[in-house]
């Protein structure tokens, strides 16, 4: 996550500067200055010099688009453009692709104005804002690099040394505790079984689909990486075209696997200051599965060319970033070229944008314009729109950074292998759901407790490394969103964007019961866990529950090591219907093994059992609906019926001390 200080809407500062120059009609000038100040989308804090973004009215947009010279468009802007020495005024968005739709949305009204860097930025902004036809002025805030350190994973150290059966043959999968956590001390002294995204049972249902494209907005993705190359999105016209030529006429030269919006060229990952961050994130979403090498990706397929595809929308490159306009174009590119999931492990500093109003209060930024375009573009027949997922940020603050904090975007917090909040994660306001982001083990700083994924070989010779951060938690959720969509496609289910978001934030396991006392963090400090209670989003995302929600199967959460009673009536209707009586149903050995079920018995139409380990399984429960006399083989008026349920056993599940029934969390189902 970057730590940019941006977007603070401190209009008062600009206002004061303007007033000081005021000599004639004070009231009129103050009013005019107030009008000008209202046009600013953000402040000049951390802004790039020599560049501003403006939003103009229809007529000026036409004139600027036609103009060959920045200062001679025949529009109201010419005089100011000449005054600030503007060298270029270019539309932000690419109207060559999907132009009619973009014009209807007003996207053609955004322009990037370029002028000499020695021109005072605030003065240039004030001058442009003084033009009546300019309704918004945005500073191009610098995006600071995510502060990511990759620690090389040595494949020989990562080879499987235990005898557990793994679902895929990727040799390093067994070190990816973030997918399936067995609670091993070799990973982390306080590792907790089941503190994971419950991926293995989800993989029994789907591992991805080729026709789903996930755009990674980040550093460049190393598309040559041995464990990513087969899951890269390919722009066929460019792949089979000529170098240096825009073969598909989309306005971008040689955009074979995406585009570098920071350096305007090919996707890259070898400049100094490149950290491997984009490649790491991409590997979590869709490293190639079951290919006998490296790691596994959440939606990386089964080894039969069926992984989801990664598109690299590069906004960070060496010491450059794409700025506000370039970032907006990167998001636009994703929407224009088929992506339906937008993976974003970047953002602005927590608390620097106060709230949704400050982010989008009638002065929508150019990035938000692009986000809305992405969300409202349908690229997949089974998802009505595009889903945007962001890291919540690593400031350790009780608020997510924007854009993730925005209400239409999912912001992901991070837990460690101990199932507890990490020392760095943001939490509380604006945070929606938690995932595994890893955290160095206290005192030992052992890296195995971070997230293991792919990096370019110029970052780590082996091509694999550990990193920690909400940046690493976020792609777990993007990958799970891809699995949800894969499963929806397999079953002909069409999801609205809201339905998919609802499924993701409600298919979670509760982490609150563990949030008491203190946790020693890696640098010897302590976290007061109670301050995270109910604030890590809805809970820890569970890939299996997500798929069950897509399928429409109810989940029954079961605690571990506690005797509980399952009464099917609690899960039907409003849960209080005494005309539903459970019949003895077959619980297969497979289910018993998956959850380590002990002491199972049927008593009075209820099922009593104890789970001894984390696990997930499907169970069909039979019951009599509407019967008022069940027993002794006699049923009066009842209809024998059955329903499929998913049992999910996890630590921290609570139950009613009186009835011994597990508490049923509300939510999507
Ligand atoms: Ca092209
Ligand atoms: Ca080309
Ligand atoms: Ca692999």
Which listed ligand is nearest to 241 at the C-alpha? Answer: 2
Q: What burial class does residue 20 get, using C-beta atoms within 10 Å of its C-beta: 0-12 exposed, 13-18 middle, 19+ buried?
A: exposed
645 alpha carbon – ligand 1 mean position (Å): 48
CA of 463 to the centre of ligand 3 (A): 12
627 falls in which pLDDT band (50, 70, 90)?
low
Whole-number percent of the chain with pLDDT over 70 = 90
Alpha-helical regions (H) of 214-305: 236-239, 277-286
Sign of the dihedral defined by the CA atoms of residues 571, 573, 579, 584, in that order: negative
- Provide the pLDDT for residue 397: 94
* Topology adopted by domain 179-545: Rossmann fold (3.40.50)
Quote the pLDDT of residue 6: 28
Could you tell me the distance, in angstroms and rounded to a whole number, from the CA of residue 235 to the centre of ligand 3? 23
Euclidean distance between CA atoms 228 and 455, whole angstroms: 10
* Kind and range of the H or E run holding 545: helix 543-551
Q: 3-state SS of 554-575?
A: EEEEECECCEEEECHHHHCCCC
Whether the predicted pLDDT of 619 surpasses 90: yes
Ligand 1 centroid vs 259 CA: distance in angstroms?
9
Please report which ligand is nearest the Cα atom of 252: 1
Architecture of domain 553-649 in CATH? Sandwich (2.60)
Using alpha carbons, select from 600, 607, 605, 609 the residue that is nearest to residue 578: 605
Q: What is the pTM of this model?
A: 0.91
Residue 579's pLDDT is: 73
**What is the enclosing helix (H) or strand (E) of 62?**
helix 58-66
CA of 297 to the centre of ligand 3 (A): 7
79-116: pLDDT as tens digits = 999 999 999 999 999 999 999 999 999 999 999 999 99
pLDDT tens sequence across 323-340: 889 999 999 999 999 999
Angle (CA) 579 656 417, round 5°: 125
The pLDDT, as a whole number, for residue 428 is 96
List CB contacts of 336: < 8 A, sequence separation 6 or more.
Answer: 94, 97, 98, 250, 377
- Which-ligand-closest: CA of 294? 3
The Å distance, Cα 137 to ligand 1 centre, comes to 30
Domain map (residue ranges) of the chain: 11-141, 179-545, 553-649
16-30, 232-246, 439-453, range with the lowest pLDDT:
16-30
Distance 300 CA to ligand 3 centre (A): 8
- Find the 56 Cα to ligand 1 centroid distance in Å: 28
CA of residue 290 to ligand 3 center, whole Å: 6
| Residue found under tokens 């009613």 | 656
Output the pLDDT for position 172: 94
Provide the pLDDT for residue 519: 92
**Helix 323-336 vs helix 366-375: crossing angle, to nearest 10:** 10
Ligand 2 mean position, distance from CA 260 (Å) = 14
Ligand that lies nearest to the alpha carbon of residue 303, given by its number in the listed order = 3
Mean of pLDDT over the chain = 89
pLDDT(274) > 80: yes
Nearest ligand to the CA of 259 is 1
Quote the ligand 1 centre to 269 CA distance (angstroms). 20
The answer to whether the Cα torsion of 530, 535, 541, 542 is positive or negative is positive
State the distance from the centre of ligand 1 to the C-alpha of 338, rounded, in angstroms.
14
C-alpha of residue 576 to centroid of ligand 3, in Å: 48
Nearest ligand to the CA of 96 is 1
Asked if the model's pLDDT at residue 652 lies above 70, the reply is yes
- Average pLDDT on 247-259 reads 97
Looking at residue 19, its pLDDT comes to: 30
**Least reliable range by pLDDT among 162-171, 350-359, 460-469:** 350-359
pLDDT tens, position by position, 142-171: 776 666 789 999 877 666 666 678 999 999
Lowest-pLDDT range, 205-209, 528-532, 633-637?
A: 633-637
Tell me the CA–centroid distance for residue 294 and ligand 3, in Å: 4
pLDDT at residue 5, rounded to an integer: 31
Least confident of 27-41, 184-198, 383-397: 27-41
Say how many Å lie between the CA of residue 640 and the centre of ligand 1.
61
**C-alpha to C-alpha distance for 508 and 540, rounded to whole angstroms:** 5
The pLDDT assigned to 631 comes to 58
CA 217 to ligand 1 centroid distance, Å: 18
């Amino acid at each position: 996550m970057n730590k940019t200080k941006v977007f603070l809407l401190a209009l008062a500062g600009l206002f004061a500067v303007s007033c000081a120059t005021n000599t004639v009609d004070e009231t009129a000038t103050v009013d005019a200055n107030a009008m000008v100040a209202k046009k600013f989308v953000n402040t000049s804090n951390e802004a790039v010099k020599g560049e501003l973004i403006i939003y103009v009215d229809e007529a000026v947009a036409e004139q600027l688009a036609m103009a060959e010279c920045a200062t001679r468009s025949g529009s109201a802007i010419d005089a100011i453009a000449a005054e600030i020495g503007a060298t270029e005024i270019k539309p932000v968005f690419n109207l060559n692709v999907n132009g009619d739709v973009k014009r209807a949305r007003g996207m053609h009204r955004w322009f990037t104005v370029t002028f000499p860097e020695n021109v005072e930025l605030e003065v240039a902004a004030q001058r442009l804002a003084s033009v009546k036809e300019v309704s918004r002025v945005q500073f191009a805030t610098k995006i600071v690099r995510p502060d990511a350190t990759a620690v090389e994973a040595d494949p020989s150290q990562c080879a499987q040394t235990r005898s557990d059966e793994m679902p895929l043959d990727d040799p390093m999968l067994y070190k990816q505790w973030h997918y399936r956590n067995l609670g091993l001390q070799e990973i982390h002294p306080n590792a907790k079984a089941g503190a994971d995204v419950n991926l293995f049972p989800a993989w029994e249902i789907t591992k991805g689909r080729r026709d789903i494209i996930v755009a990674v907005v980040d550093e460049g993705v190393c598309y040559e990486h041995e464990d990513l190359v087969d899951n890269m999105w390919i722009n066929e016209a460019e792949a089979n075209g000529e170098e240096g030529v825009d073969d598909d006429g989309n306005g971008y030269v040689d955009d074979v696997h995406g585009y570098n919006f920071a350096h305007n060229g090919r996707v890259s990952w070898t400049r100094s200051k490149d950290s491997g961050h984009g490649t790491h994130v991409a590997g979590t979403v869709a490293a190639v599965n079951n290919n006998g090498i490296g790691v596994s990706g959440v939606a990386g397929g089964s080894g039969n060319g069926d992984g989801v595809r990664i598109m690299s929308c590069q906004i960070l490159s060496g010491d450059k970033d794409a700025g506000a306009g370039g970032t907006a174009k990167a998001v636009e590119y994703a929407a224009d070229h088929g992506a339906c999931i937008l993976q974003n492990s970047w953002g602005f500093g927590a608390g620097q944008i106060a709230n949704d109003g400050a982010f989008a209060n009638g002065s929508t930024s150019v990035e938000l314009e692009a986000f809305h375009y992405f969300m409202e573009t349908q690229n997949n027949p089974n998802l009505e729109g595009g889903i945007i997922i962001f890291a919540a940020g690593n400031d350790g603050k009780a608020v997510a950074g924007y854009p993730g904090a925005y209400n239409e975007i999912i912001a992901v917090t991070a837990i460690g292998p101990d199932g507890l909040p990490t020392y760095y994660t943001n939490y509380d306001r604006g945070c929606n759901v938690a995932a595994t982001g890893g955290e160095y083990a206290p005192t030992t700083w052992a890296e195995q407790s971070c997230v293991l994924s792919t990096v370019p070989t110029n970052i780590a010779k082996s091509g694999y490394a550990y990193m920690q951060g909400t940046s690493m938690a976020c792609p777990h959720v993007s990958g799970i969103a891809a699995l949800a969509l894969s499963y929806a496609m397999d079953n002909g289910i069409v999801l609205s964007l809201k339905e998919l978001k609802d499924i993701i934030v409600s298919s979670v396991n509760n982490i609150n019961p563990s949030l008491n006392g203190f946790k020693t963090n890696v640098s010897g400090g302590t976290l007061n866990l109670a301050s995270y209670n109910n604030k890590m989003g809805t809970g820890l995302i569970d890939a299996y529950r997500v798929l069950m929600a897509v399928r429409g199967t109810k989940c029954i959460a079961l605690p571990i090591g506690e005797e509980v009673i399952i009464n099917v009536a609690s899960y039907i209707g409003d849960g209080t219907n005494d005309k539903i009586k459970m019949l003895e149903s077959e619980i297969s050995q497979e289910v018993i093994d998956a959850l380590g079920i002990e002491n199972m018995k049927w008593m009075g139409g209820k099922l009593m059992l104890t789970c001894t380990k984390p696990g997930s399984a499907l169970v069909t429960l039979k019951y009599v609906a509407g019967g008022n006399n069940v027993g002794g083989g006699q049923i009066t008026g009842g209809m024998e019926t059955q329903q499929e349920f998913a049992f999910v056993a996890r630590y921290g599940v609570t139950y009613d001390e009186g009835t011994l029934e597990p508490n049923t969390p509300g939510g999507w189902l």
